[in-house]
Amino acid sequence: MKKFLLSVFLISLSTLNAAEVLAKKDTLSIDTINNKFTSVEEKALLAIQAEDYNFIEELLSSRTLSPRTVINGKPLIIHAAIYDKAEMILLLANYGAMILDPTCDKGKDIMEYAKENKAIHAQAQIILIRA
């Protein structure tokens, strides 16, 4: 019975589509993002999580996406703070995301989210940007 279950498991693993398998953030390709999701906002959130700076910079430089875009009630830069992506915060700030202190619909600012999520790299980056 164990051998049967093992063989079924191995066969099912080999037949999975690559887009259905959870991948590490460094192996997530932008092609998978483009094929799986339809909205630019969803693609941007996944690119922030996957640290795909080229994709985010392409969206921002082509003005396809504003650096102050709000998704699910939070600006992109707050999503970057929640995921502790300090370099992404810097990229978004360079494109103008922190001209005004970003806040969510509930009134919480970016530093509150960084502290709440124990995002120490994001906190350090926010302090440097504000200085």
Whether 121 and 86 have beta carbons less than 8 Å apart is answered as: yes
- Minimal CA–CA distance to 111: which of 87, 74, 82? 82
- Residue pLDDT, tens place only, 63-111: 999 999 999 999 999 999 999 999 999 999 999 998 888 888 899 999 9
Per-residue confidence (pLDDT) for residue 112, from 0 to 100? 93
Question: Three-state DSSP class for 131?
Answer: coil
Predicted TM-score (pTM) of the model is 0.70
Burial (Cβ within 10 Å: 0-12, 13-18, ≥19) of residue 68:
middle
Kindly list the structural domains of the chain, giving each domain's residue range(s) and its CATH number in brackets, ordered by start.
26-130 (1.25.40.20)
Question: Please, which pLDDT band fits residue 16 given cuts at 50, 70 and 90?
Answer: very low
- Residue pLDDT, tens place only, 35-63: 554 689 999 999 999 999 999 999 999 99
